[in-house]
Amino acid sequence: MHAARSVTISPPVELPESVQLSDVTDVRPSADIRNLERALLLLCVIFGAAQIWISRYALGSDGVSYLDIGDAFFRGDWAQAINRYWSPLYAWCEGIALGLIKPSMWWEPITVHAVNFVIYLLSLFSFRFFLHSVVRSLRNDSVEASGESALSEWILIGFGYCIFLWATIELIDASYITPDLMVAMFLFLIAGYLVELRASDSLGKFALFGLLCGAGYWSKAVMFPVSFGLLAILLFSGVLSKRQVIGV
């Protein structure tokens, strides 16, 4: 006859107050939200491509000036390539594309608009980076506070991409041969890093933030005064620290 086995029941383990249930909660976006974002991204690509294709032969007077500067840059004519009125970065991108592809007169405006479409795609994913930074920041803040999101991510994602479409298709017009779309791309990236640096700062991120501000100025001169405002926002957002002062 076997001896009876003793069973020891341990008392329940209480978690310390510093460990909250939210610390082990999965706060990743759901599959439904990811599918919604993929559909909205595809919609933005289709709308942008359609608008640029419809205007594929339109250049405009400003567009011709930018193409002349880009052509001078590719030839190495620095007296014409560097202009006090026209910002160089967008024109140089167009000039490099035309200089490398060397399209015929028929295909030249289509090539120019193809470059614009690439910039549009970069702007779209720059906006995605900014939107994800905002959603992630709000999600982390809500988890630390009460475990409930203050604003539905469905609303943020859906409303965000609708604003992007309205801004790029209606306000900026992705088919215009101007650097406005490129400026928007840099602003989205800068805004995203403003949010990222609020959560976790590093000298590398500060350096990249400065490079983006400089590139924005090279795409359009108005970014020069705007950059000072952005640096002020970066300095006084969140808790002021020595690293933050040095970074700015």
The string of DSSP codes covering 192-222 is: HHHHHHHHS--HHHHHHHHHHHHHHHHH-TT
In the predicted structure, residue 15 carries a pLDDT above the cut 80: no
Q: Can you tell me the mean pLDDT for 229-242? A: 69
How far apart, in whole angstroms, are the C-alpha atoms of residue 147 and residue 81?
55
pLDDT digits (tens, 9 = 90+) for 38-95: 999 999 999 999 999 999 999 888 899 999 999 999 988 888 888 778 889 999 999 9
Q: What is the pLDDT of residues 168-194, one digit of tens each?
A: 999 999 999 999 999 999 999 999 998
Please choose, from the candidates 197, 199, 200, the residue with its C-alpha nearest in 3D space to the C-alpha of residue 212.
197
Q: How confident is the model at residue 129 (pLDDT cuts 50, 70, 90)?
A: very high
pTM: 0.81
Residue 14 has pLDDT above 60, yes or no: no
4-13, 28-37, 172-181: which range is least confident on average?
4-13
The contacts of residue 58 (CB under 8 Å, 6+ apart) are 109, 175, 177
What's the whole-number average pLDDT of the chain?
82
Alpha-helix residue ranges (DSSP H) falling in 76-222: 78-81, 88-101, 108-145, 153-165, 180-199, 203-219
pLDDT, greater one: 43 or 229:
43
What local confidence, expressed as pLDDT, does residue 240 receive? 53
Report the C-alpha gap between 77 and 64 in whole angstroms. 17
pLDDT band at 210 (very low <50, low <70, confident <90, very high): confident
